[in-house]
Copies of this chain bind each other. A is one copy, B any other.
Amino acid sequence: MRINKKEAMSTMKAAVYLRPGKIAIEEKPVPVPGPGEALIKITTTTICGTDIHILKGEYPVKPGLTIGHEPVGVIAALGAGVTGYELGQRVVVGAISPCGQCYSCLDGQQSQCGGKPAGGWRFGNTIDGCQAEYLLVPYAMSNLEVIPEGLTDEQVLMCPDIMSTGFGGAESGDIKIGDTVVIFAQGPIGLCATAGAKLRGASLIIAVDGVSSRLEMAKTLGADITIDYTKTDPLTEIMRLTQGRGVDVAIEALGTQATFESCLRALKPGGRLSSLGVYSGKLSLPLDAFAAGLGDHKIITTLCPGGKDRMRRLMNVVKSGRVKLDAMVTHRFKLDDIEQAYDLFANQRDGVLKVAITT
């Protein structure tokens, strides 16, 4: 194992889930990478909507777990068998960290690694995450991606999760040149889906939300039309805009019955519903909108694609300047102050979109 001396045998700060309502900074030992693993010194990370579900106890994780799955950092140590990297390289690691070698990964379903639901999502879910000074990365050969020269931490901060997820929503919707696309909800994921829809060649992109600052950001990222659902009925407006045809693709980016159902109702016969939200409670398929099963509908859910090739591609998009997502960083905190960051983000105050947490 190659390791910098200063990292050995020391402790680090980590944001740890304690109980519903409480995530706090604690001291933990700095992990030591075993074969195939790597240790990353985190330089910047962020908080995801999913972390808020964890904070609130809605998505259960083991008390004591370090939270966070959006790491940007520097290679601090490399376990046996991890080759082609150097200590000190700046890297991004996807929120989803596939092994690459199980049946699911070899079959192209890396997010369902190990054949378990969402099995590729490990950080801050089944193993310690990255809201900490250091992160232990499993399957490092599949997951470490060096940041191209000239890109800042904040420029690549969206790559591990929301850019990959949002773009994935556009990709799973199989958007074709000239398609009409609606995206319901313009939080960070929805905004990235809007950017993704533009990147795939949609000719009319309709973004729906109830917060005007988000709708403005949507315009910047690619929406041709924005609908504030607090003022206008989205379905009426969508049908007007599409001359009654309905949209080719509807992207759900919130995880509620209302947005899911609106997507279905906005679709043309034969349309595609690309679902990104994490649902709770109940979810039903209104049969009128579903044409009783005769409408040649497709409903596709997408969990954030990960792995180093995905990160390479996304960072190349950032580098190309085609999409600028760093404008979504509205607030900045030190790791020590992460509880304040959670408070702000959980309560959606001050027009927060994404926070940058530095160490």
Which A residues form the contact surface with B (CB < 8 A)? 35-36, 80-81, 98-112, 115-119, 121, 139, 141-142, 167, 171, 176-180, 196, 198-201, 203-204, 224, 245-246, 255, 268-270, 275-285, 287, 290-303, 307-310, 312-314, 316-317, 319-320, 322
Contact = CB atoms under 8 A, between A and B. Distances in A.
A212 B243 CA distance: 43
Contacts of A176: 171, 313
User: Counting chain B CB atoms within 10 Å of each CB, which of A139, A177, A180 scores highest?
Assistant: A177
Nearest to A111: B296
Contacts of A297: 299-301
A294 B121 contact: yes
25 contacts: A36-B36, A80-B80, A100-B142, A106-B110, A106-B307, A106-B310, A112-B268, A112-B295, A115-B269, A118-B269, A118-B294, A177-B196, A177-B200, A177-B313, A177-B317, A178-B314, A199-B200, A200-B201, A201-B322, A203-B316, A204-B316, A279-B293, A280-B292, A283-B290, A291-B301
B109 A269 contact: yes
Given A284-B282, A284-B285, A115 B245 contact: yes
A111 B106 CA distance: 12
A141 B99 CA distance: 10
B103 A100 contact: no
A160 to B, nearest CB: 15
A142 B106 contact: yes
Given A106-B310, A118-B294, A171-B176, 20 more contacts: A99-B141, A100-B100, A102-B141, A106-B110, A109-B296, A112-B268, A112-B269, A112-B296, A117-B294, A119-B269, A178-B317, A203-B319, A255-B293, A280-B292, A283-B285, A285-B285, A294-B303, A296-B301, A297-B300, A297-B301
A312 B177 CA distance: 11
Given A282-B287, A283-B284, A294-B301, A203 B317 contact: yes
Contact of A36 (B81, B107, B245): B81
B299 A298 contact: yes
Contact of A295 (B102, B118, B293, B296): B118
Nearest to A180: B316
A291 B275 CA distance: 12
Nearest to A36: B81
B279 A292 contact: yes
A139 B111 CA distance: 21
